[in-house]
Chain A
Amino acid sequence: MHALAGLPTADTLIDANVVDYFIIALYFVFVLGIGVMARRAVSDSIDFFLSGRSLPAWVTGLAFISANLGAVEIMGMSANGAELGISTVHYFWVGAIPAMLFLGVVMMPFYYGSKVRSVPEFMFRRFGTGAHLVNALSFALAQLLIAGVNLYLLGSIVHALLGWPLWVALLVAAAIVLSYITLGGLSAAIYNEVLQFFVIVAALLPLTLIGLHRVGGYQGLKDKVAEFAASAPASAAVPPAGQQLESWPGQALSGFDSPVWSIVGIVFGLGFVLSFGYWTTNFVEVQRAMASNSISAARKTPIIGAFPKMFVPFIVILPGMVAAVLVKEIAELKAGGSPAGGASGEGVKYNDALLLLMRDVLPNGLLGVAIAGLLAAFMAGMAANISAFNTVFSYDLWQRYIRKDHSDDYYLRIGRLATVAATVIAIGTAVVASSFSNVMDYLQTLFGFFNAPLFATFILGMFWKRMTATAGWVGLSAGTLSAVLVAFLTEDAFGDVSLGVIPIGGQGAAFLAASAAFVVDIVLSIVVSLLTQPKPASELRGLVYSETPKEDLVDPHESRLPWYQRTIPLAGVALVLVIILNLAF
């Protein structure tokens, strides 16, 4: 590592010493080691893209949440915690868990049981070319973009923490992700995600505990937040202490003034439309479940993932809240000031909350673990995007439309080439993101709108055999367009470009746009279906509930397992737990 000390270095945000570097280097040795070991197991394209469908449920379950526990999640959610307080938990307890349980209980049997290799392929089987192209192309593009954003965040953290120039950090990070995915394919990505999960916990748990200790425990944190909210100048628009410390009705998060509409917005907009659209149809996550070894394990993947997922907010949001009262710069920012410094060098932002808290409370040693954890999270995010991209690109675009009927080796090679190309494009995207970060934010918002109508199309298609192929692509396109349209009409979903005709801003605007997409998709799909010819019932087996024999949807061996290894009881326990958490906070 110290060979790199010869590079020109900027002032670093954090003083890492030789022990910290050792800890970080050790992590990378393990990451690459897993890539090399997984390489031995890859013999054909199913191994490479779907891990040979051989992994146990706890592995895919942890990978399922780890794939999502990337830069955007960790930095973004701790930033929200610092700015808005505890109502950020809705992104987890309302905006993730119910959808994950629904995916496992209701939708996974169709995905796994129909033997499709990707979510767009399910789209193809159910609705044919039109819907498949819309879905496959928008997904592939979104993954390239998000991989670039993850890489940019990774590079900027390395730059801020270790002082490497941004371009060196980008190249090194990309090279590492590239090498383990091209070597070991999805197995390497998944095994690394599991390792990353534990490193992330090892990084964030001590940070949270020491941070809480410094502010006098949870009670001390509450007192300090209340004190801060009372003394902050009105111009800073700090949410009142009640809103920062109670998750419901969550006006600080939704941006609605009325508590009733805030609850409606969070439950329907975030909890139903946005989160079901994301969690149940996003191939990045679903791919992890498809890699498991049985239909039972595939169904349990998101459900097992739900248990750690519901406790993630405690190690992500709480440190953000602690940072807002403990870290000088973040407190200044929240009180309406604009302190200099930060990871970007252009002034402190809420995104810096976690880094600055690490600087203030962690001794050398734990600091190294914390940096390794952040790097792990960002690589997990990027690797997940790229491994999902290469599958969709190779199977759904290249094999389906460009070069059919070649040998399996050929598609395996295409998959590896797609990985290299995706990494190069991600580096390009990251460079663009470094100069136009706002554009990137709005593009992400835009791609988010491709998810919103997907759930409507999938759920209608799975349970209504009358739904036609035309309805599939019409509903999907019209839903996406209406979300974009509504976003333009709100105050700030696309920043200055939004017109402000609908007087809703912040997260509320995204909830509204997604809800519009959902409603438009459902209504249009029903109307178009009634006017067009449905597919014959014989082609719908495994794709539509009423046309699929019950035994195709369940694992015959599952009833012999003890209750804590069965899908439905596990999902029930998770649901009860998340309701208790909602009541408690």
Chain B
Amino acid sequence: MTDPELTAPDPDDTRLTRHTAGAFDIRNFIGALIGIYGVVLTLMGLFGDKAYEKTGGVNANLWAGLVMLVVGAAFMTWARLRPIIVPDHVGRVLDDPTRPAPRRRGGH
């Protein structure tokens, strides 16, 4: 991004540039949390108490963990392949004549 002071007299111009949501893409949060859960559960399934009497003989932690690893990875991949483009400048709500007018600071 260029310095607005030097190249753009209208500060609104720089606000029209677009960038990706990056780390604050909710899919990365979901992918990371489900992925870590997947790692923990897979380890529990391999090394922890399998509690077969509760699950009816299925290694529930292991299976759930593996599925969560796949789901977590899928979210991360989706976020990587189709990043969200965040428009810096979101259209202002037009003034409603019946509404008490809020006076905005900063003028955008």
A and B: interacting chains:
yes
**Residues of A participating in the B interface, judged by any CB pair closer than 8 Å:** 19, 22-23, 26-27, 30, 33-34, 37-38, 40-41, 44-46, 52-54, 56, 59, 115-117, 121, 124-125, 191, 194-195, 198-199, 202, 206, 210, 213-214, 293, 360-366, 369, 399-400, 404-411
- Give complex CA distance A25, B98 in Å: 47
Point out the residue from B26, B44, B99, B105 that lies within 8 Å of A365, measured CB to CB: B44
B94 touches A202 (CB 8 A): no
Asked if B87 is at the interface (CB within 8 A of a chain A CB), the reply is yes
B101 touches A405 (CB 8 A): yes
What mask results when residues 68 to 108 of chain B are scored 1 for a CB within 8 Å of chain A, else 0?
Answer: 10010000000000001011001111101011111111000
- Give complex CA distance A297, B68 in Å: 29
Give the residues in chain B near A411, CB-CB below 8 Å. 102
Top 10 nearest A-B pairs (CB, nearest first) are: A363-B51, A404-B100, A365-B44, A365-B61, A408-B102, A214-B56, A37-B24, A52-B90, A408-B104, A206-B64
A365 touches B45 (CB 8 A): yes
Known: A53-B90, A198-B34. A363 touches B102 (CB 8 A): no
Asked if B33 is at the interface (CB within 8 A of a chain A CB), the reply is yes
Known: A115-B96, A195-B29, A206-B60. A365 touches B102 (CB 8 A): no
- Give complex CA distance A33, B61 in Å: 27
A116 touches B96 (CB 8 A): yes
**Residues of B participating in the A interface, judged by any CB pair closer than 8 Å:** 23-24, 26, 29-30, 32-34, 36-37, 40-41, 44-45, 48-51, 54-56, 58, 60-61, 64-65, 68, 71, 84, 86-87, 90-94, 96, 98-105
Give the residues in chain B near A115, CB-CB below 8 Å. 93-94, 96
Q: Which residue of B lies closest to A52 (CB)?
A: B90
Q: Least Cβ distance of B16 to chain A in Å?
A: 14
B105 touches A409 (CB 8 A): yes
Give the residues in chain B near A364, CB-CB below 8 Å. 44, 48-49, 51
A-B contact pairs, 20 of them (CB 8 A): A26-B36, A33-B29, A45-B102, A59-B26, A121-B99, A125-B96, A198-B34, A198-B71, A206-B60, A206-B64, A210-B58, A361-B54, A363-B49, A366-B41, A369-B41, A399-B100, A405-B101, A407-B103, A409-B105, A411-B102
Give the residues in chain B near A206, CB-CB below 8 Å. 60, 64
Point out the residue from B24, B37, B101 that lies within 8 Å of A369, measured CB to CB: B37
Q: Least Cβ distance of B18 to chain A in Å?
A: 12
Q: Least Cβ distance of A291 to chain B in Å?
A: 11
17 more contacts with CB within 8 A, not counting A19-B44, A195-B29, A199-B34, are A19-B40, A19-B48, A22-B40, A30-B29, A33-B29, A34-B29, A46-B90, A121-B99, A206-B64, A210-B56, A213-B55, A213-B56, A361-B56, A362-B55, A363-B49, A366-B61, A407-B104
- Give complex CA distance A408, B96 in Å: 15
Give the residues in chain A near B51, CB-CB below 8 Å. 363-364
Known: A210-B60, A213-B56, A409-B105. A117 touches B93 (CB 8 A): yes
Give the residues in chain A near B44, CB-CB below 8 Å. 19, 363-365
Known: A56-B84, A363-B49, A363-B50. A125 touches B103 (CB 8 A): no
Q: Least Cβ distance of A111 to chain B in Å?
A: 13
Q: Least Cβ distance of B88 to chain A in Å?
A: 10
A54 touches B102 (CB 8 A): no
- Give complex CA distance A579, B71 in Å: 29
